[in-house]
Structure 1
């Protein structure tokens, strides 16, 4: 009995440690907001994209980095972000960008997916070089950090970096909660081009985002347990705060945020309960229609993960023409006329089934891989169309520095 209690206590302590809220560092850089400075526009930010060699600070960030531009819409304005995905320990940086007329200035924070460490960074861009300093926590940046641009991002075939649970799990040292609106807004800054989100229903039949059927200390602010999603109305859920801030969002709120506030291209609706899917279908069709109206590239797939949910999907009218993603066997993906076949990585690389599905015009997304070694192993044997990951910065760095040069095709 005592060993079991010790084990339970150890697991609980590990979850509490991993899922705790680690706030972003905040330290002002006077030059960044000095009179006469202005925000860089989207075109100027995109011009900085590329593959970089780390010339100072490589012992902390690794030997290379990939710089990508993205944005978040806030009302009628657009906030520009420049993210750097580094080679070591899942390190990434998210910066704002301004210019003082003499140089472009990048100011933001760094984090590592492997630990809770964080700090601020200040960089100045002149020509092909970024140079400046980084610091730990809220300390003044004083550690040298510089990068030399090697070249632009290579032209590649389409590949989807799909962030698990909207960005990552609660235990992945991010400052916001999984499946939250804040996470969806952050996903592109982490390197994602799409998101996988989990759909459940409230007591009053509102589809919401939640991975687990219950509310516990790892996800919400409670000493231990707060009941089941299905036992709460939406109004009751609104009174419960997520552990890392915010509330459980509705599926409508999530799709609206993705469409109107982010550049994300793919939404995978991972259906967690076997039940009538007509409300999910209605939301899918509504937001696909709106995306087409405003000229926005967005795909929304209803996921079919098991035989029970498959039965409900088959009950939908004209199901073969509904954008869908099937996690079952290839034959069932063909039966549904699914747009995507999505096997789990535990089945191995499966080069022949992957090639057969792609020959039929069906894309293949694998779930889920987080380490460069595993990503390299699977991609070298089966050239996939996308991967689900809890480590989007790791996959983004790998894709642009390895896959983009053809390494993934090596057997």
Structure 2
């Protein structure tokens, strides 16, 4: 069996993000504690046993039902110019000419001094859509945009997000002199200038932010940006559930070149994507069942369980199909959650490696094994 190398990965310091999130969680629980203390006081002053019993039940229901649910929804992206019949999608070759390191020249808020622009794509149904992701130096702010040509201009339309909180909004950019920028002269890339505006939530973009091309990205095929849990955790306030097909699509739009996904087996031995061993409020909402995931069949899970930010628990087969055929992702890490999953995962790994090769895709699929004992079991399977 070929020994897989560990690829270099993009490491990001998330200390500041986690600190802000912990502050938000602390504020939530302080508010809940205040409500509970008020109810406790009311219980103490009520005189009759019946009223005390009623108040105690109300107190318990209030405490148990106070669950944090913070969303940062994607704003409406309608823009008349962008939707006009005369605006046509950019060609993939033109998209790549916009990639690079950019200098941030004007910004009403602090985005930092530099930003990275990178194009990616994904396929939904029969439609292939290209996305430009912009990651800014400060405040963990990013943009996801689509591009169209309109006359001698390029229109970029999408939204921005601040990962530290729920701030988001519309974003629109215009690049003038399209025919010069995308012409045969490679030196013209240095003149790329994105003049843009962004807004808060669904308000019209009015705040100014501009990007000027500084230098191209370094070409290094061994460098990977790997998205954890398919692209992000539920508490990262992304518009998709962790370990879902929607999250894999989002990871691709954000420019990830690899994903890590968590795999375990259902009662009827179907490999599915799910991180925790139990069905819980952290990962699901309005679920009609609770307990160990392995106690339920896949049909029971799909009919009774909805993931926290929407969608159903996907099978590993569907996840691999999405990554291989619908995204440019080229590295997939399968985090195996138990020894019993190894045989099933191994079979799917081999199958999709062959499918990727047949499709002309250079995809590496690696199985993560947590213990020496399971590694020995895996070697016997591979042997």
TM-score normalised by structure 1 residue count: 0.71
List alignment gaps of at least 5 residues for structure 1.
1-5, 319-411
Larger Rg over CA atoms: 2
2:369 to 290, 299, 304: 304
2:344 to 264, 279, 297: 279
Q: What do residues 249-284 of structure 1 show as CA deviations (whole Å, max 9, x unaligned)?
A: 000000000000000010000001122522111110
Per the alignment, residue 314 of structure 1 pairs with 379
Contact map agreement 2:231 2:251 (CA 8 A) in 1: yes
Q: Which moved more, 1:250-259 or 1:122-131?
A: 122-131
Per the alignment, residue 23 of structure 1 pairs with 73
Task: Determine if the alignment matches structure 1 residue 145 to structure 2 residue 209.
Answer: yes
Secondary structure at the counterpart of residue 110 of structure 1: strand
Task: Determine if the alignment matches structure 1 residue 128 to structure 2 residue 178.
Answer: no
Contact map agreement 1:275 1:309 (CA 8 A) in 2: no
Taking the aligned partners of 1:170 and 1:76, their CA distance within structure 2 comes to 29
Aligned residues: 310
1:87 to 101, 124, 137: 137
Q: What do residues 19-64 of structure 1 show as CA deviations (whole Å, max 9, x unaligned)?
A: 6332111142111111311111211111111111111117332211
Secondary structure at the counterpart of residue 329 of structure 2: coil
1:221 to 277, 281, 285: 285
Per the alignment, residue 168 of structure 2 pairs with 118
Contact map agreement 2:198 2:207 (CA 8 A) in 1: yes
Change (3 A) 1:45 1:25: same
Taking the aligned partners of 1:276 and 1:184, their CA distance within structure 2 comes to 21
Taking the aligned partners of 2:274 and 2:228, their CA distance within structure 1 comes to 12
Which structure 2 residues correspond to residues 249-398 of structure 1 after superposition, within 5 A?
249-275=314-340, 277-318=342-383
Deviation at 1:75, TM superposition (A): 3.2
Taking the aligned partners of 1:79 and 1:136, their CA distance within structure 2 comes to 25
Per the alignment, residue 381 of structure 1 pairs with none
RMSD: 2.2
Contact map agreement 1:217 1:224 (CA 8 A) in 2: no
TM-score normalised by structure 2 residue count: 0.76
Change (3 A) 1:246 1:135: same
Change (3 A) 1:206 1:152: same
Taking the aligned partners of 1:116 and 1:270, their CA distance within structure 2 comes to 30
Task: Determine if the alignment matches structure 1 residue 48 to structure 2 residue 94.
Answer: no
